Amino acid sequence: MIDWFTDPYRTQFMQHAAITALLIGVLAPTIGVWVVLRRLAYLGDAMSHGILAGVAGAYLTGISITVGALAAGVTMGLLVALFDRQRRLGHDSAIGVAETLMFATGLILISRNDRIGVDLTHFLLGQIVTTTRSDIIVNSGLTAVALCIVAFTFSDLRNVTFDAGHARQVGIPVGPLRLVLIVLISITVVVSLGTVGLLMSVAMLITPAATARLLTQRIETMTAVAIAIGVLSALVGLTASYHLATPPGPTIALVTVACFAVATVTTLRRRT
């Protein structure tokens, strides 16, 4: 049984893949807790589509994919904030309009070069087994930055999440904190590019945090449980994909859903 877990990691490419899986297993659930508590799951999904414009633009111009994706994420966040100023629109409508603009732009950019459509499959579906040492360094830096931002703003994020009106009265910058959260989501999706891919990034962002939400109420405990589920799902999914010859990204995503299903059944039994 132990060999089933250890055998895949005798090669360097799988060791690199495991490190990358650990990074996203820690980062995505940490940010996902705030996304779930603030009911911004749609924003996470929309961000994964909107960043496509940055990835495609980076391919066309020859700049770093990471830079292009981050730029697209920040741009989408600013657009959401701008559209939110229209009081007749709901927050979900603002997100939907921004997503449409960014996603459509990405598709148009892809159509400008036949090669892009093939190469982008790597980022849409994820290809964790091709992770290089430089990818690990970049992702480690982005993860460290995101976790430091969460630690620094933790108290303010908690106050804004549970009572935005009171937070505003005591001088907590509610608007800027919303933008900070959007940037954190962008970073998470960017780190997910080569791991579970753009299309599955919402799985690691939302599902472990949603599972933890079913099991506990305290934010600190919820974060710890979500990270444990994220790391477990990433490593089990990666290992299973090796043995089953399935794509790593979707396999990892299915493991997160399996954890959610177990937590759902457990909580239902407690109530009966």
What whole-number distance in Å separates Cα of residue 263 and Cα of residue 260?
5
CA distances from 207 to 24, 40, 200, 201, 235 (A): 13, 13, 11, 10, 15
DSSP per residue, the chain = -HHHHHGGGGSHHHHHHHHHHHHHHHHHHHHHHHHHHTT-HHHHHHHHHHTHHHHHHHHHHT--HHHHHHHHHHHHHHHHHHHHT-TTS-HHHHHHHHHHHHHHHHHHHHHT-HHHHHHTHHHHH--GGG--HHHHHHHHHHHHHHHHHHHHHHHHHHHHHH-HHHHHHTT--HHHHHHHHHHHHHHHHHHHTTTTHHHHHHHHHHHHHHHHHHH---HHHHHHHHHHHHHHHHHHHHHHHHHHT--HHHHHHHHHHHHHHHHHHHHHHHH-
Specify the CATH architecture of the domain 2-271: Orthogonal Bundle (1.10)
Other beta carbons within 10 angstroms of residue 271's beta carbon come to 5
User: What pLDDT was estimated at residue 263?
Assistant: 92
User: What pLDDT was estimated at residue 6?
Assistant: 78
User: What pLDDT was estimated at residue 39?
Assistant: 84
User: What pLDDT was estimated at residue 125?
Assistant: 67
Instruction: Give the residue extent of every domain in the chain.
Output: 2-271
Residue whose structure tokens are 């800027």: 176
What whole-number distance in Å separates Cα of residue 70 and Cα of residue 66?
6
User: What pLDDT was estimated at residue 144?
Assistant: 94
What whole-number distance in Å separates Cα of residue 175 and Cα of residue 98?
18
User: What pLDDT was estimated at residue 122?
Assistant: 64
CA distances from 106 to 8, 29, 120, 203 (A): 36, 27, 11, 22
Each of the 272 residues of the chain gets a pLDDT tens digit; together they read 677 777 788 888 888 888 988 999 999 999 999 999 988 888 887 888 888 888 888 888 888 888 888 888 888 888 887 887 776 667 778 888 888 999 898 888 877 766 665 556 666 666 777 788 888 898 899 999 999 999 999 988 888 888 878 888 888 888 788 888 888 988 888 888 766 777 678 888 999 999 999 998 889 999 999 999 999 999 999 999 888 888 888 888 899 999 999 999 888 776 66
